[in-house]
Chains A and B, each alone.
Chain A
Amino acid sequence: MMQKVYTKIESIVGNVITVRADGVKNGDLAIVTTSHGESYANVIKLDRDMVSLQVFSGAQGISTGDQVRFLGVPMRVSYSEDLLGRVFTGSGVPRDKGPALTENMIEIGGPSVNPAKRIIPRNMIRTGIPMIDVFNTLVESQKLPIFSVSGEPYNQLLARIAMQAEVDLIILGGMGLKYDDYLFFKDTLEKSGAMSRTIMFIHTASDPTVECMLVPDMALAVAERFAIDGKKVLVLLTDMTNFADAMKEMAITMDQVPSNRGYPGDLYSSLASRYEKAVDFEGAGSVTILAVTTMPGDDVTHPVPDNTGYITEGQYYLKGGRIEPFGSLSRLKQQVNKDTRDDHRALMDGMIKLYSAYKESLEKKSMGFQMSEWDDKLLKYGELFESKLMDLSVNIPLEQALDLGWEILAECFEPNETGLKSDLILSRWPKKVS
């Protein structure tokens, strides 16, 4: 194999170095050896014999006389059961004390699934969170971001879903994670015993930017393989805004013309090619993606959440420590909530309509208008709804949540005030509330 070593680096700009070399293929991996150690790099541009590489560990401290050795293969990741319970960096180097894995290497960023081979999603993923299970059901093979402002407990939410979701495998991709958050995920998963079915690719805020960009591809390549081998995989990505920011940094280093607020023109395609890895393989497993997208300044029109919204199948909108029923949407819920329980859809719609009426009453109240009897009922309902169903600490199965919904309704309203169909009321209305 060609293992020629090049020792003259022509330019170093940002995290990109350029060397003169022949016979190099686009996307190939190389090892840069400096006085501080070794780093992987991959080819991102070719211009005659000028080869541009992005250095995974960053170009800091690289000297023009350092060595570049091309490996003749693209970026890959090891795939086997040995990955389970392990923690890696964005470039696949162990973060824990375990051995490096080099067996059965697979390429990352592979081709897209043929749309003709896709199937209509059909299985609900239960999370034990009523605001998800009842109101915006998560569906196997769905791609769904959590839109959130910084400071919201989005990582706690992810961790909870990870532990409770009925899946075979969890792959956590951390991008720009605070070290504390990384430790939080690790501790939580270890404590709950879920670590043995978890694989982590972690880039923390202090790690080199280029590795941040690799995290989703590494995580998704592994997820895809496990799915083909029949596993139900849940991929958690946090935070995709950091990923987009890493792309922005790279694009500007490469002198690309920015399109919107400095982000490169291919932001949409780059996000889409990752999110579209969510899939249900007929006769095999599936990949479901739950990602965090923090919205700078709570602005949903910011390029990252905006482009994400066009790509994903809905979003959970986390605000004030709760999943907001307005603004949250699971586009796939219709595929599954008809088969859960006969009252699921009607109760979901009815309760949301009443909650929306509660919001109006609340506004009226805050403006000093007089409260009618109906307003008082709504106010009581809203408070119960928020404390018994919306609170993130609530952890009950779907059926129990639906029953609880009926109880809340019965506690606040007469049956004919709910707008629900008579036959449902007949069969579901709680007989007597003491």
Chain B
Amino acid sequence: MAKNKGRVTGVNGNMVTVEFDGAISKNEVGYIHVGGTRLKSEVIRINGRTASLQVFEMTNGVAVGDSVEFSDEMLSVELGPGLLTQIYDGLQNPLPDLAAKCGFFLQRGVYLDPIPDRDWAFTPSVHVGDSVRPADAIGTVPEGLFTHQIMVPFSFADVPWTVVSIKEKGVYNVRDVIAVVKDPKGNERNLTMVFSWPVKKAITRYEERLRPDETMVTKVRIIDTFLPVAKGGTYCVPGPFGAGKTVLQHLTSRNADVDIVIIAACGERAGEVVEVLKEFPELIDPKTGRSLMERTIIICNTSSMPVAAREASVYTAVTMAEYYRQMGLDVLLLADSTSRWAQAMREMSGRLEEIPGEEAFPAYLESRIAEFYERAGKVRLRNGRVGSVTIGGTVSPAGGNFEEPVTQATLKVVGAFHGLSRERSDARKYPAIHPMESWSKYTGIIDDSKVEYARSILFRSNEINQMMKVVGEEGTSVDDYVIYQKGELLDSVYLQQNSFDPVDSAVLPERQEETFDVLFHILGSIYDLEDKKEVRLFFNEVRQKFLDWNNVEQKSERFGQLEEELTELYRSKAVGFDPVAEKLLSGGAR
């Protein structure tokens, strides 16, 4: 089919207007010819014979009259075996390959094959004559830790396709034709291990969406116990600069109990990505014993890279996440930071001279954010398997103020909110998630009612602390002071976690349960303590013991010893339980 052509009529920043012939579609990809290079761009508005294109590169040197070639395809990514361990830019350009070719700098107009050109050991799973539908597997290849399903392209019509031929078990190149299928009308199509999918369309080739009801363990106590995230759920992490958003995301990317992690570094510092790039290959995933890189894909469009590609990068990332979900895997997408993505939309909207909304963000900001997070989900596939995409996005609110449009629009659509607080990070209380302002709608690993009880102590403790600031310690009753100390204890031994300590940095759910149980007994006890000084000394001792306990391996002998010592310590002063806590304890399973 003849490709449509056009000519540049105007340039404004990274937006180029083009006069075209024939028919073109919105979100179609066009290439602007400048000298010897082709600049990739996307149609974002069409008006009569004029189209506005956002260019994914710098537009220096573009002149009126330059020719434009349309591709007849929407902005797409290639999907196939070999995506794992890759480092891509926002348009799925493999950065290490680009570096090998172009050296230190990102040369514009160079687009390389995203799927590595290599051979795979293919095992067919269908026979000639079998009927298959889009997203059904026709075979598998082993990709590192996973059995990578080779599927009928999602973009094929949703009709029964008959397998005309299929390669037998053997080693084939990723681009070799491995099967031929035909639709009911007899139109034949060749299948390779690779196909493409437009990034801005959600992949919906599944049977049904399920409620996200299984906790995604992050090994961060405050999250798993108090502010859980579910597999297939969504959460956001807003926070001012320096509050530890990126550190928290890095920790999550290492420890999350999922099959695959996709990191979308969107408009942030390049240095932070470099840390991941250099560290991950060295780090061992305790679950699999293999390098963490084997379960990771990095999409990296850092702050100095072209803005339009930044806008595309989150879509590129989520499309890959959905692709692996189609194989029945649990995928976690970490987007850092969605504010930079929103800013990219704002820049484009400004160039299009759209009527601005709040803080000049476009009016469609909210719907775009909602659309993006809605691509998360737990689904049952046609073959009965269950897969999920979980999305966690950081937000970088201007001035650290959560009342701004991106944070607010995000809060409307996510299932959990982990708000980072400057106050806590200044006090070196990490992770700096604010335990009282944050919330989650998912179920965690620990009995809800017990968690609620602990939370209520935290609130009470905070109230008493506020009061003490006014009336002083003298004006506070011993009972209130005990509650205050209980809250402080909960904060320092459970909510805070030392990410530099090899043991404390990642806490398995079993250990969280055990620790929480002891903590719950301590919080629920009534103590026989004379005065505030005694209270303070007692809780200091308990805290010290508890922290020591936190820092020893669960499997070690010392762990049991310290637990005993701790139990003995608190029991020495305990004279019974608070009735509410007692009821929860005796309630046992219920």
Contact = CB atoms under 8 A, between A and B. Distances in A.
B104 A281 contact: yes
Contacts of A268: 267, 303, 340, 343
Contact of B107 (A23, A27, A111, A228): A111
Given A257-B350, A259-B359, A116 B60 contact: no
Interface residues of B, number: 62
Given A26-B61, A268-B340, A46 B10 contact: yes
Nearest to A50: B10
A281 B344 CA distance: 28
A105 interface: no
B277 interface: yes
Interface in B246-275: 267, 269-271, 273-275
B307 interface: yes
Contact of A120 (B105, B278, B399): B278
Nearest to B397: A306
A120 B275 contact: yes
A115 B269 CA distance: 10
A118 B275 CA distance: 10
Contact of A111 (B17, B58, B359): B58
B61 A113 contact: no
A114 interface: yes
A324 B87 CA distance: 39
A114 B99 contact: yes
Interface stretch (B62-70, B214-222, B284-292): B62-70
A272 B304 contact: yes
Given A257-B360, A301-B400, A306-B398, A265 B303 contact: no
B64 A326 contact: no
A27 B59 CA distance: 8
Interface stretch (A182-190, A307-315, A374-382): A307-315
B95 A116 contact: yes
Nearest to A334: B500
A26 B304 contact: no
Contacts of A301: 398-401
Contacts of A326: 426
A150 interface: no
Interface centre among A25, A121, A281 (most CB of B within 10 A): A25
A266 interface: yes
A192 interface: no
A235 to B, nearest CB: 15
Contact of A115 (B11, B65, B95, B242): B95
B400 A117 contact: no
A65 interface: no
Interface in A227-278: 228, 256-260, 264-266, 268-269, 272-273, 275-277
A281 B99 CA distance: 13
A119 interface: yes
A23 B95 CA distance: 34
Contacts of A109: 60
Given A112-B304, A301-B398, A27 B61 contact: yes
Nearest to A303: B398
Contact of B307 (A48, A256, A269, A307): A269
A23 B63 CA distance: 6
Interface in B78-114: 87, 95-96, 98-99, 102-108
For the complex of A and B, 8 pairs with smallest distance between CB atoms: A301-B399, A272-B303, A276-B304, A27-B60, A259-B360, A112-B304, A116-B95, A309-B241
8 contacts: A111-B108, A112-B304, A117-B103, A118-B271, A259-B360, A310-B241, A310-B396, A311-B269
Interface of A: 22-28, 45-49, 74, 109-121, 228, 256-260, 264-266, 268-269, 272-273, 275-277, 281, 301-303, 306-307, 309-311, 313-314, 326, 329, 332
